[in-house]
Amino acid sequence: MTALRPEHDAGYGASYEQREAYEEPGAFEAAVDGLADPLNDPLPGQGAAPPPVPAPVSPTAPVAPTVPTAPTQPSSPGPWAAAGDGISVPPPSAEREWSGYGPYPHAAEAPAAYGQDWSAQVAPEPVPVPPPVPAPASVPAPASVPAPRPDPGPPYVPVRDDATAAAGGAEEATALLPTISGTGPDPVARSEPPTGGRAERRKAAKGGRGRGRTRPQGAGGPAGAPEPSTPARPLSRVEARQAARALKDSPGVILSRAVGEIFISLGVLMLLFVTYQLWWTNIQADLYAGKEKDKIQQGWAEGRQPGAFEPGQGFAIMHIPKLDVVVPIAEGIDKAKVLDRGMVGHYAEGRLKTAMPSDKQGNFAVAGHRNTHGEPFRYINRLEPGDKIIVETQDAYFTYDMASILPQTAPSNTGVIGPVPPGSGFSEPGRYITLTTCTPEFTSTYRMIVWGKMVEERPRDKGKPDALVG
């Protein structure tokens, strides 16, 4: 029940019982329907407020039941009317106060439901929703089709004037270059939320992924794919010094490297020395021996008379047809002047002096290298008894038959070059020849001895011996 206003208590108008009834049928209902909210009633002198525009209703939202609004004051003054529910209606002159500050100034602009008694509203009954009908088991559910990836369109290039570029716009333009050129990351792909663990999401939020690291499984790409690179942080001065110090070699490394270089150098030198000894000395000795042989033959052609020969002077030529040896014979066994020059030396000094081929009796003993420096006696161990050894001089050819060989003896055994050498098989003086050389090969530890006996002396005017002709 609504209490009467003070104006009513003060004797405004007559009571409900004293009022006269409406003359026409339905006048009371029309009067009640014409009442508006006291707060929305127009002020005196104003027209009636325009009807409110209803808000759009969503087709899916539940429809609330219509709540009857409270009776409003009629626009024109008149007698009081008593509602059937006992609600008192104030007279038109009695303006409802708004919180004690006068009439509501914006009553015409208030919403349609303003001023209603919301406590009297009844909650709407829930509308029953039918349960969803399950799809038949035989019909497969449609496969989810991924949404098409939107086309990012051409990259955005900001337009910058000269002043903005001078103020620092170059850095922004440089940052946009990878995207503009098409080498940078895809802007659509960057907008996708990162997946993976917490660390991967933090990296994606910071936007820093270095070159060389691989993308883990489930991190926005296939496992093992390289990630984009970021510029390396410049080293500080202390870090640069530590890095430079780490690059320096330790003393042990330097020493081992020096020792290795020394050994390598020595190995190269030894290889060169061996090559010189085994190959180059033979070339040099053959050249010198060839020149000396030509010199001897030229002297014979000029008719020089033989006499006392000087040490190192060539005077004869030795032929060993089986070994294909043709070598000059010089006076003496000096190593530097005779033997190392590829010639055969005649024992002709001191107590080692031996006979000449032209002597009627004696042992003509010579020496030669077995290895290096021409190596004229390299294969004398292959000689067999009866093989020819020929000594050519200015006047005649002296032919010897190989008689025996001593494979090894000490260098101090000088008896092998005596007039009747022991172990040679000769028992009496005669005209003999003795060849001496070092053994084993490439050493000078022992001596190898080959003996021969003269079988023919042939003057030069009678021609060469049969062994040289054949």
What does DSSP say about strands 431-439 and 446-459: parallel, antiparallel, or unpaired? antiparallel
- Catalytic status, residue 447: yes
- Residue 292 belongs to what H/E stretch? helix 281-301
Cβ pair 454, 398 in contact under 8 A:
yes
Q: Compute the distance between CA of residue 346 and CA of residue 366 in angstroms, rounded to an integer.
A: 4
Using omega within 30 degrees of 0 as the cis cutoff, is the peptide bond preceding 440 cis?
yes
Fill in the amino acid letter for 421: P
| Catalytic option among 319, 346, 373, 438 | 438
- Residue 439 belongs to what H/E stretch? strand 431-439
Fill in the amino acid letter for 434: T
Q: Compute the distance between CA of residue 311 and CA of residue 306 in angstroms, rounded to an integer.
A: 14
Cβ pair 341, 285 in contact under 8 A:
yes
Q: Compute the distance between CA of residue 199 and CA of residue 207 in angstroms, rounded to an integer.
A: 12
SS3 34: helix
Q: Which token pair is 443?
A: 């050493």
Report in angstroms the alpha-carbon separations of 420 from 346, 354, 428, 431, 432: 17, 11, 6, 9, 8
Cβ pair 77, 95 in contact under 8 A:
no
Which of 337, 335, 245, 342 is CA-nearest to residue 290?
342
- CA 406 from centroid of its chain's CA atoms: 70
- CA angle (410 as vertex; 440, 324 as ends), nearest 5: 45
- Catalytic status, residue 369: yes
| Catalytic option among 346, 369, 370, 431 | 369
Fill in the amino acid letter for 365: A
Q: Compute the distance between CA of residue 320 and CA of residue 376 in angstroms, rounded to an integer.
A: 10
Cβ atoms within 10 Å of 36's Cβ, excluding its own:
19
Q: Compute the distance between CA of residue 328 and CA of residue 394 in angstroms, rounded to an integer.
A: 13
- Residue 179 belongs to what H/E stretch? helix 170-181
| Catalytic option among 319, 346, 431, 447 | 447
Q: Compute the distance between CA of residue 394 and CA of residue 299 in angstroms, rounded to an integer.
A: 9
Backbone angles phi, psi at 144, to 5 degrees: -75, 125
Q: Which residues are catalytic?
A: 369, 438, 447
